[in-house]
Chains A and B, each alone.
Chain A
Amino acid sequence: GAGVSQSPRYKVAKRGQDVALRCDPISGHVSLFWYQQALGQGPEFLTYFQNEAQLDKSGLPSDRFFAERPEGSVSTLKIQRTQQEDSAVYLCASSLAGGGDEQFFGPGTRLTVL
């Protein structure tokens, strides 16, 4: 079956612009995770959904970051008033059940803020 998909794959934004990143998880996967990956580092947790409920948003770096998954499937990560330090690869992953299950990653969105 289809894997996790993300769009856009690349996004260039001017500082101060708002951006929206989309994730379409594997069909039937209950849990959805967003991670941020800086160059040369491992992915860092941002937020976690179980169905439509956002159970953990402790990794979101500021209140400019907002995520939703209104129908328990597709998720959107929104970044308001982007800053240069927001430049990174944003990865989405999904798992069949909870956080201890195998997670499968999408291709990521590379965000560059000028």
Chain B
Amino acid sequence: QKEVEQNSGPLSVPEGAIASLNCTYSDRVSQSFFWYRQYSGKSPELIMSIYSNGDKEDGRFTAQLNKASQYVSLLIRDSQPSDSATYLCAVDLMDTGRRALTFGSGTRLQVQP
């Protein structure tokens, strides 16, 4: 089992719809969770960070964290074609002893105009 798991997609949604991206992780004591957006040929760009259970909203983006279920998600409202990218979930896994982020393989999102 991978430490951070994401569905590779592609997830295809029509323009204006809500895109829902999911991520599960292996460590029950992780404290820091991040979503990065990566356009093809570019480097990851931080879009959301979340540290406590519940929802965190920033513009069209909402991150949701449930530590008991070891689950973090990203909702993108009013999806735009410019949101088409790969979304990477990253977790600071405490049980690895490693002071760096562990990334999922990413979910490719396609927003259809």
Contacts and interface: CB of A to CB of B under 8 A. Distances in A.
A66 to B, nearest CB: 18
Contacts, number: 64
Interface residues of B, number: 23
A44 B100 CA distance: 10
B46 A104 contact: yes
Interface of B, helix, strand, loop or mixed by DSSP = loop
A28 interface: no
Given A42-B105, A42-B106, A44-B103, A102 B98 contact: no
Contacts of B25: none
Interface stretch (A12-20, A72-80, A105-113): A105-113
A56 B98 contact: yes
Interface residues of A, number: 27
A65 interface: no
Contact of B100 (A89, A99, A106, A108): A99
Interface of B: 4, 31-32, 34, 36, 42-46, 49, 88, 90, 92, 98-106
Interface of A: 31, 33, 35, 40-45, 48, 55-56, 58-59, 89, 91, 98-108
